[in-house]
Structure 1
Amino acid sequence: MEGARDSVLVLTNPSDATADLVLRLLAERRVPVVRLDPGVDLHDGSSLTATYRTGDQRSTLRTPRRELDLTRVRSVWVRRPSPYGGAPGLSGQARKFSAEQSYWATGGILASLPGALYVNHPWSNRAAEYKPAQLATAQRSGFLVPHTLITDNEDDAREFAAGERGGVVYKPVWNTPYRVDGQPHSVWVREARSHEITHAVAVCPYMFQAKVDKVFDVRVTAVGDRLSGTRIDSSDRDRRYRRYRPNFTQCTPIRIPEAVEHSVAAYLAEFRLTFGAFDFAVTADDTWYFLECNPNGQWAWQPTGTTDFVARAIADQLQKGI
């Protein structure tokens, strides 16, 4: 059994090409790595056992090729593991029971490894994904935040939209999978006018935000205290839409203002994050407005220099541990 505190545990799916960039660096440095997709691999030849008693905790991962003492792992990179879907061959309530038991047991074991650095801890990731929490934390961290309303009240929504002279946009608070006639659709950011708002707002909370008269967007990728900035020039209002129209987007490096750097550090500290992907809208007078922070955002789509910088920064964190 591997016992020295020298292994890095990477939780992700087998198709995660972004993770491969970091794993190659760790391999070059001869850092032992175990890659695991717990929702799948633990139903396909691997197993996980944990024991707890006063003064002692043991966790063992067995794969077809090795046995690993998880209490000696130096760091855990929580990337993009598959959802816990339950054991193959089961259906209905039995499969749901299997999936939920795996989520609460396996997820709890892997999130409670003593002495390990998490990038990021899964519970920190979850806490940092709530849009209202992001906005509140951004304000406390010193970011400028566009005027925002989250409501299920039609009158409040109309009043807000009518009161913003520059207009408002609607944004979903979560990227929920959505289908129309059986086909997958995305709910994009779109302009919302006062007269368009109806009683449908009462169905669920809607988020409306004052439009920022931006010149360009910026992605700031933070790994600990190492930051990189990418300027994004695109005509698309919703940054997610750019992945479908890459020829209409130009990405170039940009210097990050010192005030923004300080706010990024404060934001990461409050959510206990090591990694964060921050999005900003920048106006003609170089005012940076915080839009959101994805605690587990993609980053390999940026220019090669930036992608290499982020990969090295993550590899350094994982290699160093706590």
Structure 2
Amino acid sequence: MVLTWGIPSESPIRRLLDELDVLEQPYVAVSQRHFAETDLNLTIDAVGNLGGTLTYQGQTYPLAEISGVYLRLVDDEVLPEFQRLPVDDPLRMHTRRLIQHLSVWSEWAGCRLVNSMPAMASNNSKPYQAQFIQQHGFLTPDTLITNNPDRVMDFCERHHNRVIYKSISGVRSIVQAWNPRTDAEKLALIRHCPVQFQEQVDGFDVRVHVIGELVLATRITAQATDYRYALHQTGESATLAPYELEADVAASCVSLSKALGLNFSGIDLRISPTGEVYCFEVNPCPAYTYYESYTSQPIAAWLAEYLSGHDNYYRRVWNV
């Protein structure tokens, strides 16, 4: 049985459930919004094995029967049902304890897990991730993280104003190109919050989805600085197509994902006109359906096979 935990109507979970249906793989899809109808009781036997039961909407499931787990959690503070609770409502404590139990059980139960909560935390700091990226043979752009406006001006001058900037945290931000005429006036704001500035690297973008040992790569062509917002930034949509990675680059992507403790990841690459491979970051909870909808690549199908332990998964080659 596969367990999904998050918001079942969200497209990454919905697509996974569709593919589990195709495989005729039993699953239970827990909605975070139904936390009042959810409980997770953990037990430890005499030899230290972790077990217990999941109760969800009146049904009880032995945890021992769950062999694959897909976590795509949202902050419980944004849930309408949670926001309506009084500050001293016992359900608030129940919800927090529920997620703590889920984190402990999923990490130690031996299931195929996508992904553990500690592993997903690596994206909270892009500088931390960059150390792993460099250790696995990828180039990274010249980078400045600072809250000092003077250092920013020096950095931009050194790179002839061909610089982009973005958040250093895991919170989604829109990557922007440095504009010396308008952005210099706003630099005083960074004294309140450090910002990451990077040299602008020429080339095309590749999103690599790593699923266990396998990869699916997508080439993105766009005029925008941030292809996710291409229509907004340039008025033209990005173009996405399947892409065949060199075998050594594919292997490095798998190795990097493993080093970060991730069984499923979205790795953002840029390949320069001379073939150099830069890596910007590793997304530990990728919204893969954006890429799948443009290319029909079988990301959800492979993920379902991985979580189900199907033999077909192991017969895949790196690229389709």
TM-score by length of 1: 0.82
Q: Match for residue 218 of structure 2?
A: 230
Q: Match for residue 4 of structure 1?
A: none
Q: Match for residue 258 of structure 2?
A: 269
1:99 Cα shift?
Answer: 3.9
- Residues 279-290 of structure 1 correspond to what in structure 2 (within 5 A)? 279-290=268-279
Alpha carbons of structure 1 residues 100 and 241: separation in structure 2 relative to 1, 3 Å:
farther
1:75 Cα shift?
Answer: 1.3
1:161 Cα shift?
Answer: 1.7
Q: Match for residue 250 of structure 1?
A: 239
* Residues 209, 216 of structure 2: 8 Å contact kept: yes
Q: Does 1:78 align with 2:71?
A: yes
Task: Work out the CA distance in 2 between the residues paired with 1:222 and 1:243.
Answer: 27
Which of 275, 278, 287 is 1:298 aligned to? Answer: 287
Alpha carbons of structure 1 residues 70 and 192: separation in structure 2 relative to 1, 3 Å:
farther
Alpha carbons of structure 1 residues 212 and 87: separation in structure 2 relative to 1, 3 Å:
closer
Task: Work out the CA distance in 2 between the residues paired with 1:14 and 1:266.
Answer: 30
Task: Work out the CA distance in 2 between the residues paired with 1:81 and 1:154.
Answer: 34
Higher helix fraction: Structure 1 or Structure 2?
2
1:100 Cα shift?
Answer: 5.9
**What letter corresponds to residue 153 of structure 1 in structure 2?**
N
Alpha carbons of structure 1 residues 192 and 166: separation in structure 2 relative to 1, 3 Å:
closer
Per mean C-alpha deviation after superposition, the further-off stretch among 27-36 and 14-23 is 14-23
Task: Work out the CA distance in 1 between the residues paired with 2:58 and 2:75.
Answer: 21
Q: Does 1:142 align with 2:118?
A: no
Q: Match for residue 100 of structure 2?
A: 108
- Residues 158-237 of structure 1 correspond to what in structure 2 (within 5 A)? 158-165=153-160, 167-174=162-169, 176=171, 187-193=174-180, 195-196=184-185, 198-214=187-203, 216-237=204-225
Alpha carbons of structure 1 residues 170 and 87: separation in structure 2 relative to 1, 3 Å:
closer
Per mean C-alpha deviation after superposition, the further-off stretch among 133-142 and 260-269 is 260-269
- Residues 86-101 of structure 1 correspond to what in structure 2 (within 5 A)? 87=82, 89-91=84-86, 93-94=87-88, 98-99=91-92
Alpha carbons of structure 1 residues 155 and 100: separation in structure 2 relative to 1, 3 Å:
farther
Task: Work out the CA distance in 1 between the residues paired with 2:272 and 2:185.
Answer: 27
Counterpart of 2:154 in 1: which secondary structure?
helix
Counterpart of 1:198 in 2: which secondary structure?
helix
Alpha carbons of structure 1 residues 303 and 11: separation in structure 2 relative to 1, 3 Å:
closer
* Residues 206, 269 of structure 2: 8 Å contact kept: yes
* Residues 49, 59 of structure 1: 8 Å contact kept: yes
Identity rate, percent? 24
TM-score by length of 2: 0.83
- Compute the RMSD of aligned alpha carbons: 2.8
1:187 Cα shift?
Answer: 4.7
Aligned residue pairs, count = 301
**What letter corresponds to residue 187 of structure 2 in structure 1?**
T
Alpha carbons of structure 1 residues 233 and 108: separation in structure 2 relative to 1, 3 Å:
same
